Amino acid sequence: MFKVGDLLVSVSGIRGVVGDSLTPEVALKYGRVFGKYLKEGDVVLGRDTRYHGPMIFSAVSAGLMASGCNVIDIGVVTTPTVEFAVNKSGSAGGMAITASHNPIEYNALKLIGSKGTFLTESQIKRLIRLYNQADGFKGKNVGSSKKVGSYCIQEGWDLKHVKAILDLDIINPFLIKRKKFRVVVDCVNGATSYISAELFNALGCVIKLINAIPDGRFPRPPEPVSENLKKLCRQVRLFEADVGFAFDPDGDRVAIVDNKGKPLGEEYTLALGMRYILTKKKGPVAINISSSMINDYVAREAGVRIYRTRVGEINVTEKLRRIGGVVGGEGNGGLIYPDMHYGRDGLMAVAVILQYMASSGKTVLELAEEIPRTHMLKRKVSLTGKRVNFNRIEKVFGGGKIDRRDGLKIIFDDSWLQLRLSNTEPVVRIISEAFDYGKAKELADTVEKMIY
């Protein structure tokens, strides 16, 4: 991650506080620059439900059209739907206007290339160079491409996305329908508020939607981590549901609540999804460096090789392409199945979990209990007025295997610790994992005291 002015720029997008670092003028300029980067063509635009989304969307659209690009507006949809639409439509690129799990005051521009995947780090840096060379907001050279791009609305891409999930070779909708699963779904009033019911109804589920009013104001903190899912846990118990699912605002991440109303933890979305897919297809897998070691168990059990990358969806998808991987993702609730598309996909992930439950005849809790239990702690420390001395920390935790690909990761025989600068927030992330909770807490506590 690096900063351009007060904007945070990384492979996870260009994000900032709306009206502060991210203004309509800035969004328009990035729209123009992205259009120049793509060299015209069709560009798919979608957004989440944030109340300031239409303003940023309009500014980006104007910038793209001024650069000669044709804007295809697919409305309020999940980020995976935008990726899917770019890939299937043969467009030059796309943009999802969403700050994902960031608080409501944030928004972001997630930039998507012609393959339907996010831009790589080198591509982002090239785009920023173009941005720094641009002529500001004065409208110079508008139409210099000898045309102003067109604008059209294309509805139905979310339904095409759902149909593609149902058509996957690893999903048997008829088997799932016979189970008549009772499901509670927390949409955080985000993009999945519109489309969740279509998927679950198609799978024959008896559903209860909560937080599904797409007014752009989040009724809980937007990240689907366990401490934010108290209402969902309560509703799963009251509804006597088989499972609960919690999305983030743009639907690329999903967390699971078991049939007893307890959160499994977002790491289990990837582990369970990967475990099921590997019963159907054998091949290498790719996950990020911050994901749980339960995924290593899943890979060993299946007899396949596991690769780890730097954090960031595009880093995982690029590795999956290179190794011919059959499945991958990120432990924050993001599952990637390349036969669907090269991107984390929350809607696809819930179909995979329901399929796993249906085909195994087991509850989601029983499936989770088949994987060794670890304790993983994730903390965020604001960098305001503080600094991180990675070299000093490395010396204190001597004896472990050192991985410097993304911050600092120290790996021991039965535990690990990582510090890294966030791609999406001005914080340093501390992650520790061990089979013993006391060990995980000791690692996290010790290193947190060293940030000052």
Q: Which domain holds residue 134?
A: 2-158
Question: Averaged over 139-160, what is the pLDDT?
Answer: 81
- We report the CATH number of the domain holding residue 144 as 3.40.120.10
Q: Is 140 helix (H, G, I), strand (E, B) or coil?
A: coil
Is the same domain home to 84 and 153? Answer: yes
Strand partners, 429: 380, 420
139, 200: one domain: no
The answer to whether 235 and 224 are in contact (CB under 8 A) is no
pLDDT attached to residue 134? 76
pLDDT of residue 140: 54
Q: Quote the CA–CA distance of 438 and 434 in Å, as a whole number.
A: 8
Our answer to whether residue 100 is catalytic in this structure is: yes
- Looking at 10, 61, 100, 196, which residue is catalytic? 100
pTM for the full predicted model: 0.94
| Cα–Cα distance, 420 to 345 (Å, whole number) | 24
Asked whether residue 167 is domain-assigned, the answer is no
CA distance 80 to 344: 7
pLDDT at 40: 87
Structure confidence by residue, pLDDT tens digits, 317-332: 999 999 999 999 999 9
Look at residues 158, 187, 214 and tell me which one is the last residue of a structural domain: 158
Least confident of 18-22, 142-146, 156-160: 142-146
Residues 165-177, mean pLDDT to the nearest whole number = 99
**Per-residue confidence (pLDDT) for residue 183, from 0 to 100:** 99
| C-beta separation of 262 from 233 below 8 A | yes
Distance between CA atoms of residues 134 and 151, nearest Å? 23
For the segment 193-202, the average pLDDT, to the nearest whole number, is 97
286: Cα within 13 Å, side-chain hemisphere: 24
Structural tokens at position 1: 């991650």
Give pLDDT, residue 144.
55
pLDDT at 262 over 70: yes
Same domain for 347 and 282: yes
> 308: closest CA among 423, 403, 397, 394?
403
Residue 243 belongs to some domain of the structure: yes
How high is the pLDDT of residue 138? 54
Say yes or no: 197 and 334 in one domain: yes
Please indicate, yes or no, whether residues 222 and 287 belong to a single structural domain of this protein: yes
d(CA 77, CA 80): 8
CA-based R_g, the chain, Å: 21
The answer, yes or no, to whether residue 52 has pLDDT greater than 60, is: yes
Q: Tell me: pLDDT of 142 over 70.
A: no
Helix axes 24-38 and 53-66, enclosed angle (nearest 10): 40
Report DSSP state, residue 227: G
Four-residue CA torsion sign, 302, 305, 310, 312: negative
Task: Give a yes or no: residue 143 inside a domain.
Answer: yes
Containing 72, the helix (H) or strand (E) segment is strand 69-76
Q: Look up residue 418 and give its two tokens.
A: 């990582």
Reduced 3-state DSSP string for 149-199: CCEEECCCHHHHHHHHHHCCCCCCHHHHHHHCCEEEEECCCCCHHHHHHHH
Q: In this structure, are 148 and 74 located in the same domain?
A: yes
Average pLDDT in the 73-81 region?
A: 98
Distance CA 253, CA 187 (A): 11
Least confident of 86-100, 139-153, 359-373: 139-153
152 and 183 part of one domain:
no
Q: Tell me: do 345 and 426 sit in the same domain.
A: no
Which of the pair, 301 or 12, is modelled with greater confidence? 301
Last residue of a domain, one of 158, 183, 214: 158
The answer to whether residue 67 sits within a structural domain is: yes
- Name the E strands within 337-414: 375-382, 401-403, 408-411
- In a 10 Å sphere around its CB, with 0-12 CB exposed, 13-18 middle and 19+ buried, how is residue 360 labelled? middle
Confirm whether 163 is domain-assigned: no
pLDDT band at residue 269, thresholds of 50, 70 and 90? Answer: very high
Q: Which residue has the tokens 């990120």?
A: 330
Residues of the chain above pLDDT 90, percent:
87
- Name the band, by pLDDT with cuts 50, 70 and 90, for residue 2: low
Residue 411, domain CATH: 3.30.310.50
pLDDT for 340-356, tens place per residue? 999 999 999 999 999 99
Q: Please, are residues 149 and 34 in contact by the beta-carbon 8 Å criterion?
A: no
Amino acid at position 33, single letter: V
Buried b (16+ CB within 10 A) or exposed e, 293-321: bbbebbbeebebebbbbbbbbbbbbbbbe
Domain end marker among 330, 346, 369: 369
Is the pLDDT at 370 greater than 90, yes or no? yes
State the average pLDDT for the chain. 94
Whether residue 87 is contained in a domain is answered as yes
Tell me how many domains the chain contains. 3
Question: What is the helix (H) or strand (E) element at residue 17, kind and residue range?
Answer: strand 13-17
Sheet holding 182-186, edge to edge: 206-210, 182-186, 243-247, 254-257
Q: Is residue 168 part of a domain?
A: no
Q: CB under 8 Å to 167, separation ≥6 — which residues? A: none
Indicate whether 139 pLDDT > 80.
no
Note the pLDDT tens digit of each residue in 224-253: 999 999 999 999 999 999 999 999 999 999
- For the cut 80, the answer to whether the pLDDT of residue 447 exceeds it is yes
CA nearest to 69, candidates 89, 98, 47, 44: 44
Let me know whether 412 and 301 are in one domain.
Answer: no
Q: Stretch 426-448: mean pLDDT, rounded?
A: 95
Q: Using an 8 Å Cβ cutoff, are 195 and 162 in contact?
A: yes
Residue 295 pairs in a beta bridge with none
Q: What is the pLDDT of residue 416?
A: 97
**Same domain (yes/no): 100, 183:** no
**Residue in the structure block whose two tokens are 């467009």:** 91
Same domain, 321 and 201: yes
Antiparallel, parallel or unpaired: β 306-309 and 285-288 = parallel
Q: In this structure, how many other beta carbons lie within 10 angstroms of the beta carbon of residue 322?
A: 11
* Domain assignment of residue 357, yes or no: yes
Average pLDDT (256-282) is 98
Residues 78 and 143 in one domain: yes
